[in-house]
Amino acid sequence: MDEPQFDRDTEKNTRLIGFLKTLMICTGTWSYHWTDNLILKKLYKYFFFFPLSVFAAFYILIIMELFRVLYERDNLEKLLLNLGIVLDASKITIRFFVYFKNKVFDKVKDIMMDEQDIFQSQDPEVTDYYLERAKSWRSTLILLYITTCLCAYGYMIVEVSSNIIVNKRHKANNESVEPPFLYQIYFPNPVENIMSLYCVNCFMVTFIILAVNVSFGLSTTCMVYGATQLEIFQIRLKRIHEIAQKSYNGDVALTLKMYVIKHQNLMAYITNLNECIRGATLGEFLISSINCASVVADITKVDKLGLDATYSGCYVILLILQIFTYASAANEIKIQSAAIADTIYESEWYHFDKSSLKMMNILQARAQKPLEMTIGPFSAMTNETAVMMMKACYSYVAFMKNSAGADTATE
């Protein structure tokens, strides 16, 4: 059988990564064909540096503001929320560093190639399952994107409108104007340049939202793709006799030999993916738990329900959604890789000849050890790990509250 070629038609196979592709185009990280317009194609070659520069500027300015707050002891009650945003920006930075270093962006090519194989197979059961899986995952990414937008823009709109109302009252009473809190980037003379501060924040946050969703969506999509391919492998394995008759002239042993190779390739893909992103997974585990704890600790200091408490609550919800989505994608790989052994047992192996049984034994032996996405060099990332992260958050919050109480007692 001829190997499928990666060409212009293959680049249209983006059902699973359709929404992610749109976000990647907006951030300049899509490396493949997306338009026939020559002017857009030329401009796009240099567009990547623009969102990268915006994010770098945001990251540097927000760290400068954090140090300014610490040095001048200004707005210390906002420190934990500001620290949470710095941690989130650090998490995005780690993700992109790992992705570029290990060429994770190139893995979308594997997804498009296998999607082409699925559609060309004209297997209704496999195609319907894949399209349903792609639809479900697209909905998940859209939900995360909308939640991020509501969290980021909602806070900005409420804070800006509140700042405008407060400053109108100050002007009426001949009092000094207050700068908005917004997202804490360092900005010269914020009181004199309030409108400019509004615009710069809105502009930067637009690209930060894209960076959050691309960096998070890429690794999780690659994991979802791996789990999806493992389940498709099981669907086909159950119908091994039918596939042998259709594609291999009834030679079950040859069919199983091809499936042993396919399983080996899937194992290699997932193992390589784990090697590429386990550093990002470690950062996800550590920073997300600390970030979540810092925001929750900030909420516990609020006396009444207001803007800060509402924003912090939405932010915590977003962080929890990200944590459990990431863990669920990784957990699915472990479940589906282990399920192959059960699929082999449920197949009509007792009708196979010796050569076919040998192939089945090879598959069975390889399926005994489930594939896992690990947290750096440590344990596997699973749903149980996500629960452990929530417990760690509680411990961090308790520590922060105790530390704050000890400082108050000392004073």
Q: Is 22 within a domain? A: no
Task: Give how many domains the chain has, as a whole number.
Answer: 1
Would 31 be classed as within a structural domain?
Answer: no
67 token code pair: 């140090």
| 35 assigned to some structural domain | no
pLDDT, position 407: 47
Q: What is the pLDDT of residue 129?
A: 94
Q: Please state the φ and ψ torsions of residue 183, each to the nearest 5 degrees.
A: -90, 125
Structural domain range at position 389: 47-410
Q: What is the CA radius of gyration of the chain?
A: 26
Rounded Cα distance between 31 and 29, Å, is: 6
N- to C-terminal Cα distance for the chain? 78
Q: At what angle do helices 194-238 and 252-300 cross, to 10 degrees?
A: 150
Helix (H) or strand (E) holding 366: helix 354-367
Q: Is residue 404 included in any domain, yes or no?
A: yes
Question: What per-residue confidence (pLDDT) applies to 408?
Answer: 45
Q: What is the DSSP letter of 347?
A: S
Please give the pLDDT value at position 200: 83
Chain segment 128-163, per-residue pLDDT in tens: 999 999 999 999 999 999 999 988 887 777 778 877
Instruction: Kindly state whether residue 1 falls inside one of the protein's structural domains.
Output: no
Please identify every stretch of the chain with a pLDDT value under 50, giving residue numbers as ranges: 1, 404, 406-411
Q: What is the structure's pLDDT at 332?
A: 94
Q: Identify the pLDDT of residue 388.
A: 80
By residue count, the chain amounts to 411
Q: How many CB atoms lie within 10 A of CB 266?
A: 21
pLDDT at position 108: 92
Distance CA(287)–CA(382), nearest Å, equals 17
Q: How many degrees, rounded to 5, is the angle at CA 178 between CA 54 and CA 306?
A: 85
Question: Is 3 inside a domain boundary?
Answer: no
Rounded distance between C-alpha atoms, residue 246 and residue 306, angstroms: 65
Position 32 in a domain = no
Exposure string for 6-28, b = 16+ CB within 10 A, e = fewer: eeeebbebbbbbebbbbbbbbbb
pTM (two decimals): 0.86
Q: Which residues neighbour 390 within 8 Å (Cβ) at sequence distance 6 or greater?
A: 289, 292, 320, 323
Q: What's the DSSP call for residue 2?
A: P
Is residue 182 within 8 A of residue 160, CB to CB? The reply is yes
The pLDDT of residue 409: 46
Report yes or no on 14 lying in a domain: no
